[in-house]
Amino acid sequence: MKSRRIKNGVTMSSWQTNPSQQISGDIRVPGDKSISHRSIMLGALAKGVTEIRGFLSGDDCVATRQAFEAMGVNITDQDDVICIEGVGINGLQAPAKPIDVGNSGTGMRLLAGVLAGQSFASTLVGDASLMQRPMKRVAEPLKQMGANVSVNAAGCAPIAIAPSSGLHGVTYHQSVASAQVKSALLLAGIYAEGETIVHEPGVSRDHTERMLRSFGYPVETIVTGESRTTKLQGGGVLNATQITIPGDISSAAFFMVVAAIAPAGSVLTIRGVGVNPTRTGIIDILQQMGADLTLENQRKVGDEPIADVVVRASTLKGITVPRELVPLAIDEFPVIFVAAACATGTFILRDAKELRVKESDRIAAMATGLAALGVKCEVLEDGMVIHGNSDNPFPNAATIDSLTDHRIAMAFAVAGTRACQAITILQCAHVATSFPNFRALAAAVGMSVEETNDLAGTSDG
């Protein structure tokens, strides 16, 4: 029987994978998580009714929707369309209690930017994983803008936000490119007097800028070599619009890799995938590793480019990941590490320290799981070295802890297709934060991922 027990307030769910043969099919992955969050936020702050198609109904984006409902925004479902009755920039109401964004770093950091500009007090909280993630990176620059924002002594949530005497634009230099920090500052910048300018040392995803423009709010981006400067004037207006959300390339990544490492003859098509150039590091990295991956039917939905991605099984080789591709593939490294374990030769990733502060420490989580499966890998402070074995990548049977990190769970489910034996993956319930129908799509393409008793849940009662 399926097991979904509640332990310490967390839903427990384990998976058992079995090796697969051919991987094939024609699928669509759910809507993009980053864009779904932003569509709720900007739709709520716009004048008029915004319609959203392709919204990701995963736990993270549902938490963002509920946050705005708790602040008086009317949001309804009409068939597959979400309708938001925007309240305008200054129309939000004080929430009755702390806003709980669950597991979502994007929800928390972007909301901090919106709430910094409000005339009411609010508090942001999340689940056990999120409450340990760094929040000073948004609190500090928001304070520089005049916001009344505080985090705890460890620099983490709860984030307490009190009304301020008004925000003013700043010029902020980020030490690491981060779309979440940039977006928080741009959203606060709407409420600020003057211009908000964010400098980044590299490229980060630009969905906020694209969507602000779709809502009629001007944003300027200046490219200088690898760095980016983004500017916005406060005091503007967002006008309701219609948004169609592309398939999430971060979810498609699991299926790109599972097809690439599958037995010869496997072919998989993933339709309608967002291929915004700030997100396509996974495609470049897999192609550099020798994957047979092509983009077909390239087109646009609204302001975002999409394509059908066709992947054929092929022999992969290890590479040194070019530094400039790291931020463009930052969420995909768990499954890229699985591809590397199935490749010939050595794979090297550096400059990816951010992986240590995602939903888990993804360098440690992946290294522990890969080593348990018999992969030779070396942990670096800012990355990993993996010595692949294309003939027998995962020689050992193992039980792997996903540490409640959705992308760790799904990455090991992909590894399970090439394992010698069944593998067990613990604490998989958080997959629902980004990819609620992952197991159904996995089954449709020929993977075997079953829910089973949760061993973590039974070990200590």
Q: Between β-strands 304-312 and 292-301, what pairing exists: parallel, antiparallel or unpaired?
A: antiparallel
**CA–CA dist 353, 363 (Å, integer):** 8
To the question of whether residue 214 is assigned a binding role by annotation, the answer is no
To the question of whether residue 34 is assigned a binding role by annotation, the answer is yes
- Whether 382 is catalytic is no
Cβ 72 vs Cβ 87: under 8 Å: yes
Residue carrying structure tokens 């940039």: 182
To the question of whether residue 362 is assigned a binding role by annotation, the answer is yes
The one-letter amino acid at 127: D
The least distance separating ligand S3P from the CB of residue 181, rounded to whole angstroms, comes to 6
The least distance separating ligand S3P from the CB of residue 452, rounded to whole angstroms, comes to 28
To the question of whether residue 331 is assigned a binding role by annotation, the answer is yes
**CA–CA dist 145, 166 (Å, integer):** 9
CB of 23 or CB of 410, closer to ligand S3P: 410
The least distance separating ligand S3P from the CB of residue 434, rounded to whole angstroms, comes to 9
CB of 185 or CB of 257, closer to ligand S3P: 185
To the question of whether residue 105 is assigned a binding role by annotation, the answer is yes
**CA–CA dist 357, 241 (Å, integer):** 34
DSSP per-residue letters across 58-77: SHHHHHHHHHHHHTT-EEEE
Cβ 390 vs Cβ 433: under 8 Å: no
To the question of whether residue 14 is assigned a binding role by annotation, the answer is no
To the question of whether residue 356 is assigned a binding role by annotation, the answer is no
CB of 257 or CB of 310, closer to ligand S3P: 257
The least distance separating ligand S3P from the CB of residue 203, rounded to whole angstroms, comes to 11
To the question of whether residue 205 is assigned a binding role by annotation, the answer is no
The least distance separating ligand S3P from the CB of residue 436, rounded to whole angstroms, comes to 17
Pick the catalytic residue: 331, 401, 405, 454? Answer: 331
Give the other-Cβ count within 10 Å of 220's Cβ.
12
The least distance separating ligand S3P from the CB of residue 191, rounded to whole angstroms, comes to 19
CB of 149 or CB of 456, closer to ligand S3P: 149
Cβ 87 vs Cβ 50: under 8 Å: no
To the question of whether residue 28 is assigned a binding role by annotation, the answer is no
**CA–CA dist 225, 153 (Å, integer):** 37
**Segment (H or E) for 449:** strand 448-452
CA dihedral over 105, 106, 112, 118, signed as positive or negative: negative
The least distance separating ligand S3P from the CB of residue 342, rounded to whole angstroms, comes to 24
The least distance separating ligand S3P from the CB of residue 327, rounded to whole angstroms, comes to 7
Q: What is the DSSP letter of 374?
A: T
CB of 59 or CB of 331, closer to ligand S3P: 331
DSSP per-residue letters across 200-231: ESS----HHHHHHHHTT---EEEEETTEEEEE
List interacting residues with ligand S3P (CB under 6 A). 34, 106, 178-180, 183, 204-205, 330-331, 354
CB of 424 or CB of 433, closer to ligand S3P: 433
Minimal CB distance residue for ligand S3P:
34
Greatest distance between any 2 Cα atoms in the chain: 64
Cβ 280 vs Cβ 205: under 8 Å: no
To the question of whether residue 2 is assigned a binding role by annotation, the answer is no
Q: What is the DSSP letter of 327?
A: G
CB of 186 or CB of 442, closer to ligand S3P: 186
Residues 6+ apart with CB under 8 A from 450: 15, 16, 17, 18
Give the other-Cβ count within 10 Å of 96's Cβ.
7
**CA–CA dist 25, 23 (Å, integer):** 7
Residues 6+ apart with CB under 8 A from 328: 203, 277, 278, 279, 280, 281, 284
**CA–CA dist 249, 293 (Å, integer):** 14
- Quote the strand ranges of 302-363, DSSP E: 304-312, 346-349
Binding residue ranges: 33-34, 38, 105, 133, 178, 180, 331, 358, 362, 407
Residues in binding site for 3-phosphoshikimate = 33-34, 38, 178, 180, 331, 358
Task: Specify binding-site residues for phosphoenolpyruvate.
Answer: 33, 105, 133, 180, 362, 407
Residues catalogued as catalytic: 331
